[in-house]
Amino acid sequence: MRRNVVLIPLVIAIVGASAALCLAGQARDVPRIQGRPNLSGIWQAMNEANWDIQAHEARPGPPQFGALFSEPAGVGVVDGNEIPYQPWALEKKQQNFANRWTEDPEAKCYMPGVPRATYMPFPFQIIQGTEKIVIAYPFASASRLIHMDEVGESPSDTWMGWSRGKWDGDRLVVNVTSFVDQTWFDRAGNFHSDALHVIERYTLVDPNLMAYEATIEDPKVFTRPWKMSMPLYRRQEQNAQLLEFKCVPFSEELLYGHLRRK
């Protein structure tokens, strides 16, 4: 019994030290390039956030397809499971949910935006350089540049935003601005305006595990900033690679079917 009494505080101290190290953004025993954690590789989120970033029950798909396209239940990725919508925006979100089968930008093959591109059910690839970091996503052939050098403000608003990064210890912090207002956070209709500002944090915990956080600010839609967080996993297959997902042909009927000559 005495041995257990001694070991318990020791275990607590070790766990506490490890947690403090992670919070400080200092990663140990991870691959490095030019002294920084090497984030290069193919990564994927393993959660249900693309269906709904909040906790949710399983839901049916369109009734004509039976159990096909039904939505899996999920525990959510939003800290506290609360999105602080302004009253009008909450009503808009509910309208989006009711019309999600035709109005979700994913159904229209629009580029997914940030942070949604991170947790869609597809892998994505990070290619890390000194002054630029490239992230490529299969859906809609989307990609983005994280500028690690000084580039100033974006010349225009874009689907994937304008990403400027810096290192905070061993944590990559990315400031993303200049969005269009035509992307959603998920299939549940959670949305934003063109005032969206996202602060991403990528922390390599070990060679095959990365902690991801995204702080969301949008004073036109939300009453305060809020955050989502999740782990990202390195794909381990020997032949892991990104494959094309050119979805424009899949969305043509939805977008342009009404224009077909009778």
Divide the 262 residues of the chain into consecutive groups of 10 and give the mean pLDDT of each group. Answer: 44 43 60 94 98 97 90 97 98 97 95 98 96 97 96 95 97 98 98 98 97 98 98 95 91 86 78
* E strand segments, 20-131: 32-33, 36-37, 41-45, 124-128
User: Using CB atoms within 10 A of its CB, is residue 51 exposed (0-12), middle (13-18) or buried (19+)?
Assistant: buried
Query: Beta 162-168 vs 143-147: how paired, if at all?
Result: parallel
pLDDT of residue 259: 84
What's the pLDDT score for residue 26? 58
How many C-alpha atoms does 63 have within 13 Å on its Cβ side?
Answer: 0
The whole-number pLDDT of residue 24 equals 45
For the chain, list the domains and their CATH numbers.
31-48+81-259 (2.40.128.20)
Q: For residues 144 and 159, is the Cβ–Cβ distance under 8 A?
A: no
- Looking at residue 201, its pLDDT comes to 98
Q: What is the pLDDT of residue 260?
A: 82
Specify the pLDDT at position 10: 45
- pLDDT reported for residue 168: 97
- Tokens encoding 40: 């290069």
Q: Across-strand partners of 36? A: 33
Strand spans (E) along 27-161: 32-33, 36-37, 41-45, 124-128, 132-136, 143-147
